[in-house]
Amino acid sequence: MSRYKKYAGGDPLAPPVDIAEALDAIGEDVMSGYSPERAMREFLRRGGQDQRGLDDLARQVAERRRELLQRHNLDGTLQQVRELLDKAVLEERKQLARDVTMDDGDRAFREMQIDNLSPNTAAAVSELSSYDWASREAREAYEEIKDLLGREILDQRFAGMKQALEGATDEDREAIAEMLRDLNALLDKHNRGEDTDADFDEFMAKHGQYFPENPQNIDELLDTLAQRSAAAQRMLNSMSAEQRRELMELSAQAFGSPALMEQMAQLDANLQAARPGEDWYGSEEFGGGEGLGLGDGTGVLQDIAELDQLSEQLQQSYAGSRLDDIDLDALSRQLGDQAAVDARTLQELEQALRDSGQLERGSDGDLRLTPKAMRQLGKALLRDVAKRLSGRQGERDLQRAGAAGDLSGSSRPWAFGDTEPWDVPRTITNAVIREVGEGRRGPGVRLTVDDIEVQETEARTQAAVALLVDTSFSMAMDGRWVPMKRTALALHTLIRSRFRNDDLQLISFGRYAQTMEIEKLTALDAIWDKGTNLHHALLLANRHFRKHPGAQPVLLIVTDGEPTAHLEPGGDVWFSYPPHPVTIARSVEELENSRRLGAQTTFFRLGDDPGLARFIDSMARRVEGRVVAPELDDLGAAVVGSYLGDRTARRTSNSYGGYPDAFGGRGWWAG
């Protein structure tokens, strides 16, 4: 079955949106400290290499709004009236001068009336309402003034009326008057809550030709009329006091009868009562040289209102904002089809990201990275760690899942230097699939290096790892927040992908400590509370060790400050700066409990504070631990290297200081 839909612009043969660039940018921003929600929004705002973002579209909207205000002024109708009035007076003077049959007294009286016209255009038009024109051309110019005013006033409320009523007959004008009477009657009835669908259908059947928008119900009709009526009021508000006064005086001359203005005033009152939320009181400052008539000016004010709505939609700054809120039809009207195509592509990109399994919205509505996305980010960080470790030691990245141990049940492509046994079924399957894809037929299967997969092994020793990361005020203030998060994600990814038997507990500690899942820690905004509660963090770490009595405890502590808080027996936090002796004693006591549980402890000291260095050195000596003082860029490599070194030490009983010598021996990273 074929399905057809309206062509929405753009290249119909263009491929689906590519989310790879977006995912890379979002991941980079997340690791730079943005929450996933903010990272997503920032990419959509910036756009991609070949894709305009929301900021570019919003900038174009602002430029369009500014251009409308700087190009136009609101004096167009008044200027047209002045020109027609001048034409009528000039033609009348010509006629009076050349008409030799006219009585001299009559000529003198007419010339006196013309000479004494008010300099005010509206007053002059009013004074000439009863003048007996001698010139046919002058009379036609004056009648055109009244016709122009009527068409402009109607065009303010009903788009296109100025053109539709050009050259209209008295019957056409009466039909308009009847439509206005019926419309006001319908709106009166609606405002009283007495209208029915049949009333609307009857009105549209009789007067539908005046509403090209083709509203389907009374609410759509009200929306259309109220938006334009409110724009007309904003146009009036934008005029000078003199312009408003002159225009109101001229309006009484529309079609030569005040009845039109009475009906229009009633219509405005009905619309304002039905749609009080429209902007009836705003105004704009026009400063251009191109005069606008009443109808065109109202249209420009509608355009400006629509541009303001688009600006708000593109800024996405209101609660619950979504790219689906962007009115693509309005964007196309104001900026052209390509702008609508760009916005729709961003909408599709956001949807593709959600559908890709990389991003999802939680129950609170915030965008979050899925576990799949976290794994990809972690792998990227591990690649960086691998380069730093191998570069520092002068070794290549050997890819074995464990130097010795049991088969893990998984396999991976063979790489130069691998000594693990082949996974024969997977290798043969790869070769068959490749040859079928190449169209090869014949007896036997030919293997290539790319077909080979080897079996992975896992180390037999199990570890209970506690990574304690400082989230105190100083970590955020001194730029250590992001390296801390990158380090935690790299270690988490390594353990989950290559050492699945190990149990990792992530513990953050600021004024108090808490265990955290990696998703929460990665998305954690900077915490500005003062306090470094190492005592509480060690309590949680020791609880983790006790839950795994058969595993080797590994304690990794990343901090940039001495303990300034501890947990009281009742659960309250005690904070003191400089560090209180009780806080130090409690922290040391709990650290020694970790040693009694058999924990291998490594401190990662950030910063160059001599007092901190002395304190951490003394703490490490008490528990026979190690101290590493890495640069921020090397923090991830230092923590991962220490963890891998501890695994090597458990297998070989070798000890070392500083960075480990073997970094887990070859095999922790599989790309």
d(CA 538, CA 505): 12
* pLDDT at position 468: 95
The pTM score is 0.61
Please, what is the average pLDDT of the chain? 83
Which pLDDT value is given to residue 29?
A: 79
Domain boundaries, the chain: 20-71+307-369, 75-285, 406-458, 462-652
The pLDDT confidence band at residue 365, using thresholds 50, 70 and 90, is low
Which is higher by pLDDT, 258 or 298? 298
Q: Under 8 Å CB-to-CB from 549, ≥6 apart: which residues?
A: none
Taking residues 42-47, what's their average pLDDT?
Answer: 88
- Rg value, the chain, Cα: 40
Apex CA 615: angle with CA 612 and CA 621, to 5°? 135
Q: Please state at what angle helix 259-274 crosses helix 136-157, rounded to 10 degrees.
A: 10
pLDDT tens digits, one per residue of 57-72:
999 999 999 999 999 8
Higher pLDDT, 248 or 185: 185
Q: What is the mean pLDDT of residues 534-541?
A: 96
- The token duo for 161 is 């009326």
User: pLDDT (tens digit, 9 = 90+) per residue, 238-288?
Assistant: 998 888 888 888 887 777 667 778 888 899 999 999 999 999 999 999 988
Q: What pLDDT shows up at residue 657? A: 38
pLDDT value at residue 431: 87
Of all residues in the chain, the percent with pLDDT exceeding 90 is 40
pLDDT band per the 50, 70, 90 thresholds, residue 3: low
Question: 216: exposed, middle or buried (C-beta count within 10 Å: 0-12, 13-18, 19+)?
Answer: exposed
Question: Tokens at residue 443, please?
Answer: 């007896």
Measure the CA–CA gap between 519 and 536, rounded to whole angstroms. Answer: 22
* Distance separating the N- and C-terminal Cα atoms of the chain: 45
What local confidence, expressed as pLDDT, does residue 456 receive? Answer: 75
Query: Is the confidence at residue 22, as pLDDT, over 90?
Result: no
Count the alpha carbons within 13 Å of 568 in the hemisphere toward its beta carbon. 7
Average pLDDT over residues 534-559: 94
**Strand order across the beta sheet in which 463-470 lies:** 513-516, 503-509, 463-470, 552-559, 600-605, 626-628
Instruction: Write a three-state SS string for 329-395.
Output: HHHHHHHCHHHHHHHHHHHHHHHHHHHCCCEEECCCCCEEECHHHHHHHHHHHHHHHHHHHHHHHCC
* Lowest mean pLDDT segment, chosen from 195-204, 544-553, 606-615: 606-615
Q: Is the peptide bond before 578 cis (omega within 30 degrees of 0)?
A: yes
Nearest to 605 by CA among 562, 662, 647, 564: 562
Question: What is the pLDDT, as a whole number, of residue 328?
Answer: 93
Evaluate if residue 352 carries a pLDDT over 90. no
Q: 462-652 sits in which CATH class?
A: alpha beta
